[in-house]
């Protein structure tokens, strides 16, 4: 069994490859549970593309674990929840993204835990799990957009928050909310259509990760995509 440091270096090199399927297949040669520790470390890598691809690899590992024994995957999910909790003392960079990727590729976990993910953007009265640190909440927005890609109906309960985020001061939140709208494809209200139309001139940029490639996108382009999806439902 290679040392953790050796495995970490090997996995980093694999994640730098251009072929997504080949990279994930190479990682799968190591048992899924063994991969999780190094992947947690790679969520903090200096290379932003490695960090994002570690999210994808984390989801793939979780899918394997869930297929073998769902309760083991539940245990890892609970660990993710603890890492997001302020009481854990962690700065949970990359954890909401791992949660979104996990739910997107593990339907049984998505059915059980999607409301937990949505709660991170729901600022409710009293005690709630809303992430009040905007840069970390950005990861939750990505996670919701990712889940909406796989199971849009599970994200519908957060539509009020998604629509509100179209006016967020953070360009990434606006852009990711647009992607979530495009994927959920809700019945378009006048409020939603007006909010998307208002973003037509929003040239602010945000990072858009599609599962292996990382690119810069404009809020305006994401809004146009969401507007087209909404109009197709009319």
- The answer, yes or no, to whether residue 66 has pLDDT greater than 80, is yes
Question: What average pLDDT does the segment 162-184 reach?
Answer: 97
Question: Please, which pLDDT band fits residue 1 given cuts at 50, 70 and 90?
Answer: low
At residue 234 the predicted structure's pLDDT band, cuts being 50, 70 and 90, is confident
Query: What pLDDT is recorded for position 233?
Result: 83
Percent of all residues in the chain with a pLDDT value above 90, rounded to a whole number: 89
Full 3-state SS string of the chain: CCCHHHHHHHHHHHHCCCCHHHHHHHHCCCCHHHHHHHHHHHCCCCCHHHHHHHHHHHHHHHHHHHHHCHHHHHHHHHHHHHHHCHHHCCCCCCHHHHHHHHHHHCHHHHHHHHHHHHHCCCCCCCCCCCCCCHHHHHHHHHHHHHHHHHCHHHHHHHHHHHHHHCCCCCHHHHHHHHHHHHHHCCCCCHHHHHHHHHCCCCCCEEEEECCCCEEEEEHHHHHHHHHHHHHCCC
Please indicate, yes or no, whether the overall pTM of this predicted structure exceeds 0.85. Answer: yes
């Amino acid at each position: 069994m290679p040392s953790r440091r050796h495995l970490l270096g090997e996995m980093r090199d694999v994640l730098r490859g251009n072929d997504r399927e080949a990279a994930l297949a190479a990682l799968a040669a190591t048992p899924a549970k063994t991969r999780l520790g190094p992947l947690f470390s790679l969520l903090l890598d200096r290379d932003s593309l490695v960090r994002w691809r570690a999210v994808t690899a984390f989801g793939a590992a979780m899918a394997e674990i869930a297929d073998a024994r769902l309760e083991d995957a539940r245990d890892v999910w609970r660990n993710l929840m603890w890492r997001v909790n302020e009481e854990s003392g962690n700065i949970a960079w990359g954890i909401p993204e791992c949660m979104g990727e996990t739910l997107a590729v593990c339907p049984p976990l998505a059915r059980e835990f999607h409301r937990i993910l949505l709660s991170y953007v729901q600022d409710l009265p009293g005690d709630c799990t809303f992430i009040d640190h905007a840069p970390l909440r950005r990861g939750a927005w990505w996670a919701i957009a990712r889940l909406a890609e796989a199971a849009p109906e599970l994200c519908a309960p957060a539509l009020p928050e998604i629509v509100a985020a179209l006016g967020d001061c953070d360009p990434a939140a606006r852009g990711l909310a647009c992607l979530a709208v495009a994927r959920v494809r809700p019945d378009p209200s006048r409020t939603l259509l007006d909010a998307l139309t208002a973003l037509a001139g929003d040239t602010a940029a945000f990072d858009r990760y599609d599962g292996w490639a990382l690119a810069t996108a404009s809020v305006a382009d994401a809004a146009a995509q969401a507007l087209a999806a909404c109009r197709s439902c009319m």
